[in-house]
Amino acid sequence: MHRRDFVKAISVLSAGLSAGVLPAVGFANQNTDYDFVFTRLSYESGDWDVDERMPANLLNSLIEYTTLRVNLTEQVIALADPAMLQQPFCFLAGRRLVQFNHAERENFIKYVNNGGFVFVDDCNHDIDGLFARSFEQQMTDLFGPKALQKIPNDHPVYHSFFEFDGPPNTSQELNGWGDDLVHKYLQAIEINGRIAVLYSNKDFGCEWDYDFRNKRFMRVDNTRFGVNIVIYAMTA
């Protein structure tokens, strides 16, 4: 099921951005109660239930900056459940081993090859950590050794709503957490010219894992790139 079947037009006023006015995004009526549901994927290995406050924080940003009809409740679906194949956006994260069972592998392949979008976040912020090594090996096993590639910093995901010149830094990177590196790139598996799996070692999940009411103390809302990811996922 292709993402274009879920949502259609997006209207972003670039003049509004330059003037400091946050634009609204409108989506076509899909005969459902919501335009966007945050779907987290559970899997048998590892610890999938990390960064518990992050979804609510990101959903708050979508409400604040767009006109999406957002379901305020995070939805958790097992990767092995065929119901995940009907979701236009999925999130997968963890710190430990990623080793899909047979049903999980089959669903992941089918979902990615048929228009799905998975945002995968390494909560270790460690390119040599267990999550990164095991997840990347899974992608090699499922899609081949060259499927997961760095994306350029002018990729459309960086311009889908707010303007970025690459992935924003996280406090985990700047504070020396994990591998003590600032990752200037994201990786992705692209299918037919668009991202199907967006993969980050930057630990955005932990970066956005706080009560959304605390954003009033920030000079710049650090969840804005999450809005870009969602808009790209729903419109590309």
Q: In which domain, by residue range, is 192 found? A: 3-235
Residue/partner pairs of 131-137 with CB below 8 Å, 24 or more apart: 131/46, 131/94, 131/95, 131/96, 131/97, 131/98, 132/201, 134/46, 134/97, 134/98, 134/99, 135/98, 135/199
What integer pLDDT is reported at residue 149 of this predicted model? 97
Number of domains in the chain: 1
> Residues of the chain whose pLDDT is less than 70?
1-31, 125-126, 172-181, 183, 209-219
CATH number of the domain enclosing 71:
3.40.50.12140
Please tell me the distance from the alpha carbon of residue 234 to that of residue 12, in angstroms, as a whole number: 14
Please tell me the distance from the alpha carbon of residue 94 to that of residue 43, in angstroms, as a whole number: 10
What integer pLDDT is reported at residue 216 of this predicted model? 63
What integer pLDDT is reported at residue 11 of this predicted model? 28
What integer pLDDT is reported at residue 173 of this predicted model? 64
What integer pLDDT is reported at residue 160 of this predicted model? 97
Helix ranges, the chain (H)? 14-18, 54-65, 102-113, 130-143, 171-174, 204-207, 224-235
What integer pLDDT is reported at residue 203 of this predicted model? 85
Residues 6+ apart with CB under 8 A from 226: 58, 61, 204, 208
What integer pLDDT is reported at residue 176 of this predicted model? 53
What integer pLDDT is reported at residue 211 of this predicted model? 62
What integer pLDDT is reported at residue 128 of this predicted model? 77
| pTM flag (> 0.85) | no
Question: Phi, psi (5° rounding) for residue 111?
Answer: -65, -50
